[in-house]
Amino acid sequence: MTMIDRSCCTRLLRSLVLAGFGALSVPAAHAVTEMIITSELAPTHWKTKQMDALAADIAKRSAGRIKPALFHSAQLFDDKGAVNAMGTGSVHMAWPASLWLEAIEPRYGVANLLFGLRDRDMQNAAVREPLKDFLSSLIEKKGMRVLALYRTTEIAMMSNRPPLTSAGDFRGMKARIPGGAVMREFSKLLGLSYVTMPASEIVPAMLQGVIDGAITSPGVWQQFGPKVSVTRIPDMLIAHYSVVVDRAWMDKLEARDREAILGAVAALNERQWREAIAADQATIDEMVKKGGKYGTLPEPALAELRKFAEKANGEFIGKYPDEYKRYSAIMRGQK
């Protein structure tokens, strides 16, 4: 081989090597992971708006590696259906009412005991985070993980009577109640003739005389206008959503993408409970200005209701003493 040939070969080899290093230095396009999030509520609902904001934050924190796809108004699943679909790959996150989770894991009812969770406790991360982790441990074998508890509302009594002032005022009323075995037992002790129905059916049921009251959120008051009254029952039941994800799907994500989701959920959690309290109060203030009658059950009546609640909670506690013991320790701020 001549000198010229060797020189040409050397230049060619150098060019191939440099080209190879150049190819290695070009960043590969990152894979995009679709994250399916479902809700049964309309896009105008405050919960839906919070879900939209959370999705945008996840996309931002993951630098676009996670692409949330939101399906509102039960376009894909209602909340109960979303819980049942966890693990199939058809949904990755949902915010069901925590009461729904009792149907798949009865022990989860510890989060729904009457006069249990309080607003001031849930705004304290030292209580909120251990409670979330404990509840998550109850349903992980069901293929889910709980990332947070987000406040819905403080349940109140809406009725076609003046605001209630005694425990005896509940007796004989035909009223809608939220689901759950504890609430059913409590209603019996109160003397309520109760029915369970979705919140969307409360207005027509009251207008048609099917029921004459409802234990529900102040938000429903807006649909009636000031012609019905609302009685606050402090701390009786703070309804909440459980932010759940598909456990297997979450575990398969890269660590940085899991952190993006957890970071977004935690950031919303810092303000969500406070914002939900403010939303309840804004609704109440608006309806009172329009002439609606609003009252708070007096302490003597509350004391009587707490005795009924203790009995109603008792059956659950008897079935699941270990879960109640752990829950009580968390609520007292113990590790």
Residue with tokens 């022990």: 107
| More confident of the two residues 18 and 277 | 277
Residue 334: pLDDT band with limits 50, 70, 90:
low
**3-class DSSP state of 234:** coil
Average pLDDT, the chain: 89
Report the amino acid identity of residue 268: L
- What the block records as the tokens of 106 is 């009865």
Instruction: Judge contact between 215 and 176, C-beta under 8 A.
Output: yes
Q: Where are the domains of the chain?
A: 33-152+239-285, 157-235+288-308
Q: Report the b/e string of 200-218 with b at 16+ CB within 10 A.
A: eebeebbeeeebbbbbbbb
Cα separation, 181 vs 163, whole angstroms: 26
According to CATH, the topology of domain 157-235+288-308 is D-Maltodextrin-Binding Protein; domain 2 (3.40.190)
Q: Is the confidence at residue 8, as pLDDT, over 60?
A: no
How much is the pTM?
0.85
Rounded alpha-carbon distances, angstroms, from residue 86 to 153, 237, 249, 262: 26, 27, 9, 18
C-alpha Rg value of the chain to the nearest Å: 26
Mean pLDDT of 7-19: 42
In CATH, the number for domain 33-152+239-285 is 3.40.190.170
Residue 198: pLDDT band with limits 50, 70, 90:
confident
Question: What pLDDT score does 181 carry?
Answer: 83
Intrachain domains 33-152+239-285 and 157-235+288-308 with the same fold: yes
Residue with tokens 């979330």: 132
Least confident of 185-199, 232-246, 310-324: 185-199
**3-class DSSP state of 35:** strand
Q: Is the confidence at residue 22, as pLDDT, over 70?
A: no
